[in-house]
Chains A and B, each alone.
Chain A
Amino acid sequence: MQDILDVLISRKSIRRYKPDPVPDKMIDKILEAARWAPSGENYQPWRFIVIRDQETKNKIGDLAKVGSGSRMTAWYCMGEMQKRFEKIKDPDKRARVLEFMYSGEVSEFAKHAPVVIAVIGDLQIGSVDVPYDLSAATENILLEAHSLGLGACWVHGPVATSRDAIKFKKILGIPTGMNAYKVICYVAVGFPAEERKHPRPKVPLEDLVYWEKFGNKERP
């Protein structure tokens, strides 16, 4: 069996895409990868909505922009965003980045993605821990897209609040009852129009791993 670590560590979130359509065969492979994710009791609660219609993608992009922008505007006004980005030393660059964030533009890119895949969970099929199952399926989508030479990004923004989740469901015709379907995210997919640079630095393993008991950093 092949080690997929190279695929894992070379993947990054891609938010800019070429306009080229994604071939159906690639979309099918991505969905097949999602289908093979693990799920509690093998309930497989996930359902996927593949969106290529521009008007629908525009609505999702607008919803994401308002969702992220409203929160980040408030965080900026509270001084929290400035602290988050103080690592950027160049003040002009920092200001540009912050405006990109609090305007909500950071989350608008569904409009420009050739394909958007909504990941939703059926709450009525004897499911357990639906969000975890859906997260595993979403990760598979990202990895398969990456391995096919595509770029993808997992976006929670437009379904983050309860009210926005209802708006998102209405856009896609999903039943809006809280007992029916859980919307966890969408994934934007397309051929990357940005460099696949090495991902941002990760926290070193020694800061993340304990041995045998919480807090014990010494490998026995």
Chain B
Amino acid sequence: MDQTQYFNDMMARLEELFYHELSDCACWKTEFVGVDFIQSRDIQGTTPSEIIENCIREITTAGLVKEITYSIGGQDILLYAKVKGCLHISKEVALRKRGIKIYNCPIINMILDQIIEKLNFETTYVADIEVDEKSGECLLKCAIFESPAKIGNVCDWSDECRLIDENNQWTTVEC
């Protein structure tokens, strides 16, 4: 029996039901999904990059994903991440097949949780999750706000992401 598929099927059902109850608001309520794993690890760091990379090491070592690459841009507010070979990809694919916008990534929830808990960031927000079933890759755009003063610092993230891609400003964490 494929236990991963079994649990992903259950998660997909739960997220489908949750979306039906809360519509787009569902994504605002799921930020703690996944954090138990990362909170059980002793993540250390004094900068976003250190926290992110130490989270990635724990997540990949545990076999939850194969690789996470990331970049920080947009006046230090944009956290742009690629998640490859994730344990949960079949959940996301199942939801998309049912016409539901992907809204809950336990992996990025872990990283954002540690940015808040360890660096005392004011808040974070998952703005977009794109899933590419063929490549088995998720592309995530998140906002990370160090302080209230960072809120309202806007720029065009499509430009930011394009530049990150063109200049290959991705950081890959070696484990």
What is A's interface to B at a CB cutoff of 8 Å? 62, 65-67, 69-71, 73-79, 99, 102-104, 160-164
A residues in contact with B67, CB < 8 Å: none
Interchain Cβ contacts within 8 Å, total number: 76
Say what secondary structure dominates the interface of chain B.
Answer: mixed
A77 touching B157, Cβ below 8 Å? yes
Is there an interface contact between A77 and B151, defined as CB atoms closer than 8 Å?
A: no
Q: How far is the CB of B36 from chain A (nearest CB, A)?
A: 14
Rounded to whole angstroms, the CA-CA distance of A65 and B145 in the bound complex is: 13
The minimal Cβ–Cβ distance linking B23 to chain A, given in whole angstroms, is: 13
Does B38 count as interface, using CB distance less than 8 angstroms? no
0 or 1 for each of B18-58: is its CB under 8 Å from A? (1 = yes): 00000001001111100000000000000000000000000
B31 cross-chain contacts in A, Cβ below 8 A: 161-163
We find that the number of chain B residues with CB closer than 8 angstroms to chain A is 30
Contact B116 A74 (CB under 8 A): no
Closest residue of chain A to B124, judged by CB? A70
**Contact assessment for B151 and A66 in the assembled complex, using a CB-CB cutoff below 8 Å:** yes
CB distance from A135 to the nearest CB of B (A): 13
Expressed in whole angstroms, the Cα–Cα distance for A71 and B123 within the complex equals 10
* Interface residue? B62 (CB, 8 A): no
Bound Cα distance from A160 to B123, whole angstroms: 13
Secondary structure of the A side of the interface? helix
The interface of chain B, by Cβ under 8 A from chain A, is 25, 28-32, 74, 77-78, 116, 122-125, 127-128, 141-143, 145, 148, 151-158, 160
Q: Report 16 cross-chain contacts, Cβ distance below 8 Å, ordered by A residue.
A: A66-B122, A66-B145, A73-B152, A73-B154, A77-B77, A77-B156, A78-B127, A102-B151, A103-B152, A104-B151, A160-B25, A161-B28, A162-B28, A162-B31, A163-B116, A164-B123
Kindly identify which residue among A67, A78, A102 contacts B152, using a CB–CB cutoff of 8 Å: A102
CB of B154 within 8 A of CB of A70, answer: no
Chain B neighbourhood of A76, CB < 8 A = 154
Q: How far is the CB of B96 from chain A (nearest CB, A)?
A: 19
Q: Which residues of A lie under 8 Å from residue B156 when comparing CB positions?
A: 77, 79
CB distance from A68 to the nearest CB of B (A): 9
Per the bound structure, the CA–CA distance linking A77 and B32 in Å amounts to: 24
Identify the closest chain B residue to A62 (Cβ): B148
